Amino acid sequence: MKKFIAVLLTLTMAFSGCAALAEGVMTHAEYVAAAIDTEVVVETYVQAKQSWWENKATVYCQSEDGAYFLYEMACSEEDYAKLEQGTKIRVTGYKAEWAGEVEIVDATFEILEGSYIAQAQDMTALLGTDELIAHQNEFAAFKGMTIEKVEYKNGQPGDDIYVTASVGGQSYNFCVEVYLTGTETDVYKAVGELKPGDVVDMEGYLYWYEGVNPHITSVTLVK
Amino acid sequence: MSRGRTALLAVALAACLALLSGCHGRKELGAFAVPDAFDTTRRHEITFWAKNDTNMTQVAIYEEAIASFESLYPNIDVNLRLYTDYGKIYNDVITNISTNTTPNVCITYPDHIATYLTGTNSVVPLDALFADAQYGLAGSALRFDSPGQEEIVPQFLQECMLEGSHYAMPFMRSTEACYVNKTYVEALGYTLPDVLTWDFIWEVSEAAMAKDAEGNFLINGQKVMIPFIYKSTDNMMIQMLRQKQAGYAGEDGEIQIFNDTTKALLYTVAGHAGTGAFSTFKISSYPANFLNAGQCIFAVDSTAGATWMGCDAPLIDISEEKLVDFDIEVMMVPQFDPEHPQMISQGPSVCVFNKEDPQEVLASWLFAQYLLTDDVQIAYASTEGYVPVTTQAQQSERYADYLRRSGEDNDAHYSVKIDASRLLLEHTDKTFVTPVFNGSASLRNAAGQMIEEVTKSARRKKTVDEAYMQALFADMTALYRLDQIETGGSAEEEDLGALPAASAALLITLAAVWCAMGAYVLAQAIRKKK
């Protein structure tokens, strides 16, 4: 009887999951399996907006089953204003890869009913493992990281900040992406003041640049 | 990691600048006249917007140059603002021209200055300053050893001539180079020719696409191999057209790029992009990273990017375990006619912006000129595959010693970097520049974007045919407003004609709003008095 109920529940969830997706819309697993340069259609939720200009928006999105990075998606300024955290959108574009970052480019979108805001998942233990890339672009937390180096991209405030932090004797690269945070934000200022030896908790999006390179959105000094 | 993405914004801003200049709504500067003497009793604070190649040594050299200059002229303070992207400087300058808040001295490209000139008297023509007996080049009242005008490499100086005047001075010069994985070329059974040809590169690149049964490329045993990657596709198209003696642009701004040669070149690019043998920086990432990982054979990038090229490069962006050992060769960009090679001349120039106070402009000019001194020229040129722009610096014993010590170490004397500099030093006579006019920056963007578009389309298995080309040409014309470029003179000289109805309506509305606001303030003031 238990087995029967379990199978029934599984089938119900599977069918309801399918029903929730319009025809042609991919699950995250299908998106992952799709080849680079093929057309993809996904439904997902806006988590953070990185930039807009000349009718192009760059956006971090996440669903319950995985995350997406939408690079320079066609978007009017008016529509960009409607893209609030949690907004559900259907995205049609091409899967691409730039320096290891898998993203959707040349995309268009439409706003749908629904909302979802992802909570940062602690991925400290996954750093340095092959498993980490399965979470690419997700909202992640890294705890107890020891700062080794903080460098402004061009030597002074105004551009990206490159952060090297370690845990368990291994060093990892992080970035405060200026297009995402701006220079007047708490995170930009706080990271700029970090010193080697500081221990911090960080949150951000699991971006990739020639390896994992999370884009930090918040930092808390632990000691 | 911020990727370059400023071109389109610049197009829009340039259009705004043209409108602002046309409506005469802002306070315009008068023409600059060289003062009789530099007033050393007054303090001057000037701003210098500079570009570095994400290279902290360059930042240090700028800072050193400023400190040295300030010690010579204690009444001048130079504030440095750093950029890593020419496009961002361009955007910021355009935005600031409309409010008369430009920097004093700025690293720039002549293409960009052509747009800056849309603002009346925004940029200082330098000819009178060059010739000034006291403060001009090699002037008698200078507190440093400045080169004479004849000591600036004439070809480089000529690039800064717009509308009959010098609106900039060259600061550094570079060209493009093809950084070749010689080990792989030879493993594929080929021998590098003295001068690379396009046919050779395409043939070797296709040969490198062979895979084993598991899908690994035979040449590197990896899952990834893009044999030919081009960083700046605008340069790629411009150089191919030049080598083919095909149309790109007339000196007066006539757009010639949409021609049959361009189409033929795009078909070739699409063919090799479709097989995976060719890609671009915008589509795949930095050529250097693929080259150093043994995933690219021909990486074309600026000679100013030489310190990132090769497995022993001083600047590396990939993890150590991804590096592959190989012999690297620095070669001229591929040619259609190897007997008559042609390659682009590029690199930063420096311009001086006009201000209400001529003394401030003179202070700016003194600093700009200081950037041509041997100390600055040799130090900065040595940070990358640049060459100094003065014969004085090029022929100095210090610079000759630097070149001689190639390969002595993998840092200051990194052989690939010095080979890249030598490439330009030995072939300066084979370099060219494209015509500069208001809109030439947009045309350059369109040239590159066409290669990006056909490359993406071919990778996506779309049909690239005559209909595609016609649509592409139309799209580029519209996107970059190439049908709105005025030919035969500056916007300032042209009769702007009647304002478009929409613009007139906007101006009338703005005037009405200002009147309403004024009336409101007046009414409030009267009410307060009561």
A48: phi then psi, degrees, rounded to nearest 5: -155, 145
Q: What kind of fold does domain A121-221 have according to CATH?
A: OB fold (Dihydrolipoamide Acetyltransferase, E2P) (2.40.50)
Q: Give the pLDDT score at B144.
A: 97
> Mind telling me how many Å the CA of B34 is from chain A's nearest CA?
34
Q: Give the pLDDT score at A9.
A: 43
pLDDT band at A223 (very low <50, low <70, confident <90, very high): confident
Chain A residues with CB-CB distance to B461 below 8 A? 37
| C-alpha–C-alpha distance, residues A130 and A177, integer Å | 24
pLDDT band at B514 (very low <50, low <70, confident <90, very high): low
pLDDT at B198 over 50: yes
> Mind telling me how many Å the CA of B79 is from chain A's nearest CA?
12
With CA atoms as reference, report the closest residue to B371 among B38, B56, B160, B147: B147
pLDDT at B520 over 80: no
pLDDT at B7 over 80: no
Residue spans of the domains in chain A: they are 21-115, 121-221
A103 and B CB contact within 8 Å: no
CB A67 within 8 A of CB A137: yes
**Three-class secondary structure assignment of chain A:** CHHHHHHHHHHHHHHHHHHHCCCCCECHHHHHHCCCCCEEEEEEEEEEEEEEECCEEEEEEEECCEEEEEEEEECCHHHHHHCCCCEEEEEEEEEEEECCEEEEEEEEEEEEEEECCCCCEECHHHCCCCCHHHHCCCEEEEEEEEEEEEEECCCCECECEEEEEEECCEEEEEEECHHHHCCCCHHHHHHHCCCCCCEEEEEEECCECCCECCEEEEEEECC
- Pairing state of beta strands B431-432 and B298-302? unpaired
- State whether B5 and A72 contact (CB < 8 Å): yes
CB A222 within 8 A of CB A144: yes
pLDDT at B462 over 60: yes
Terminal Cα distance for chain A, rounded? 54
| C-alpha–C-alpha distance, residues B136 and B56, integer Å | 31
Chain A residues with CB-CB distance to B54 below 8 A? 153-154
Q: Give the pLDDT score at B485.
A: 83
Q: What kind of fold does domain A21-115 have according to CATH?
A: OB fold (Dihydrolipoamide Acetyltransferase, E2P) (2.40.50)
Taking only the tens place, the pLDDT of each residue in B409-419 is 999 999 999 99
**Continuous segment of H or E residues that includes residue B521:** helix B501-529
Chain A residues with CB-CB distance to B61 below 8 A? none
pLDDT, average across residues A63-68: 97
pLDDT band at B426 (very low <50, low <70, confident <90, very high): very high
- What are the residues whose beta carbons fall under 8 Å from the beta carbon of B414, sequence distance 6 or more? B306, B307, B310, B312, B313, B314, B407
Q: What is the ipTM of this complex?
A: 0.89
Q: Mutate one of A177, A210, A213, A216 to test the B interface: name it (highest B CB count within 10 A).
A: A210
Q: Give the pLDDT score at B2.
A: 60
Sign of CA dihedral B434, B439, B445, B451: negative
Q: Give the pLDDT score at A23.
A: 84
Structure tokens at B5: 């993405």
CB B269 within 8 A of CB B219: no
pLDDT at A12 over 90: no
Q: Give the pLDDT score at B5.
A: 39
Taking only the tens place, the pLDDT of each residue in A96-135 is 999 999 999 999 999 999 999 999 999 999 999 999 999 9
Q: Map tokens 């992640």 to a residue.
A: A140
How many pairs of residues across A and B have Cβ atoms under 8 Å apart? 69
A153 and B CB contact within 8 Å: yes
A170 and B CB contact within 8 Å: no
pLDDT band at A10 (very low <50, low <70, confident <90, very high): very low
Q: Give the pLDDT score at B498.
A: 43
Chain B residues with CB-CB distance to A211 below 8 A? 318-319
Taking only the tens place, the pLDDT of each residue in B26-62 is 567 889 999 999 999 999 999 999 998 888 899 999 9
Chain A residues with CB-CB distance to B460 below 8 A? 37-39, 94
Identify the DSSP state of B87. H
Q: Give the pLDDT score at B501.
A: 47
As a CATH number, domain B36-174+347-395 is: 3.40.190.10
- Give the closest of B1, B56, B459 to A155, CB-based: B56
Structure tokens at B333: 């960009």
CA-derived radius of gyration, chain A: 19
| C-alpha–C-alpha distance, residues B519 and B517, integer Å | 5
- State whether A209 and B460 contact (CB < 8 Å): no
CA-derived radius of gyration, chain B: 25
Q: How many C-beta atoms surround the C-beta of residue B488 within 10 A?
A: 12
B84-103 residues touching A, CB cutoff 8 A: 84
pLDDT band at B356 (very low <50, low <70, confident <90, very high): very high
> Mind telling me how many Å the CA of B158 is from chain A's nearest CA?
30
Phi-psi region of B79 (alpha: psi -120 to 50; beta: other; left: phi over 0): beta
Chain A residues with CB-CB distance to B59 below 8 A? 154-156
- Give the closest of B5, B59, B286 to A154, CB-based: B59
Across chain B, what does the average pLDDT equal? Answer: 89
Chain B residues with CB-CB distance to A158 below 8 A? 81-82
**Whole-prediction pTM value?**
0.88
pLDDT above 90 covers a percentage of chain A that reads 86
- State whether B1 and A99 contact (CB < 8 Å): yes
B15 and A CB contact within 8 Å: no
- Give the closest of B1, B9, B54 to A209, CB-based: B1
pLDDT at B518 over 80: no
Largest CA distance in chain B: 96
Q: How many C-beta atoms surround the C-beta of residue B321 within 10 A?
A: 6
Burial class (CB in 10 A: 0-12, 13-18, 19+), A92: middle
Chain A residues with CB-CB distance to B12 below 8 A? 54
Please name the amino acid found at residue B117.
L
| C-alpha–C-alpha distance, residues B11 and B442, integer Å | 7
More confident residue, B507 or B356: B356
More confident residue, B370 or A7: B370
- State whether B5 and A213 contact (CB < 8 Å): no
- What are the residues whose beta carbons fall under 8 Å from the beta carbon of B191, sequence distance 6 or more? B185
- State whether B286 and A99 contact (CB < 8 Å): yes
Across chain A, what does the average pLDDT equal? Answer: 92
The chain A residue lying nearest B480, using CA atoms, is: A54
pLDDT at B383 over 60: yes
Q: What kind of fold does domain B176-345+432-484 have according to CATH?
A: D-Maltodextrin-Binding Protein; domain 2 (3.40.190)
pLDDT band at A3 (very low <50, low <70, confident <90, very high): low
More confident residue, A13 or A141: A141
pLDDT band at B513 (very low <50, low <70, confident <90, very high): low
pLDDT at B193 over 90: yes
Taking only the tens place, the pLDDT of each residue in B125-182 is 999 999 999 999 999 999 999 999 999 999 999 999 998 999 999 999 999 999 999 9
> Mind telling me how many Å the CA of B514 is from chain A's nearest CA?
26
pLDDT above 70 covers a percentage of chain B that reads 87
- Give the closest of A37, A53, A179 to B460, CB-based: A37
- State whether A97 and B284 contact (CB < 8 Å): yes
Residue spans of the domains in chain B: they are 36-174+347-395, 176-345+432-484
pLDDT, average across residues B392-412: 97
Q: Give the pLDDT score at B289.
A: 98
pLDDT band at B86 (very low <50, low <70, confident <90, very high): confident
Q: Give the pLDDT score at B28.
A: 72
Q: Mutate one of B1, B226, B320 to test the A interface: name it (highest A CB count within 10 A).
A: B1
The chain A residue lying nearest B290, using CA atoms, is: A99
With H, G, I as helix, E, B as strand and everything else as coil, classify residue B428.
helix
Equal fold, A21-115 vs A121-221:
yes
Q: Give the pLDDT score at B118.
A: 81
How many CA atoms lie less than 13 Å away from B321 in the CB half-sphere?
A: 2
B2 and A CB contact within 8 Å: yes
Burial class (CB in 10 A: 0-12, 13-18, 19+), B499: middle
- State whether B82 and A210 contact (CB < 8 Å): no
> Mind telling me how many Å the CA of A195 is from chain B's nearest CA?
19
Q: Give the pLDDT score at B163.
A: 86
Q: Mutate one of A154, A161, A176, A179 to test the B interface: name it (highest B CB count within 10 A).
A: A154
pLDDT at A60 over 70: yes
> Mind telling me how many Å the CA of B119 is from chain A's nearest CA?
23
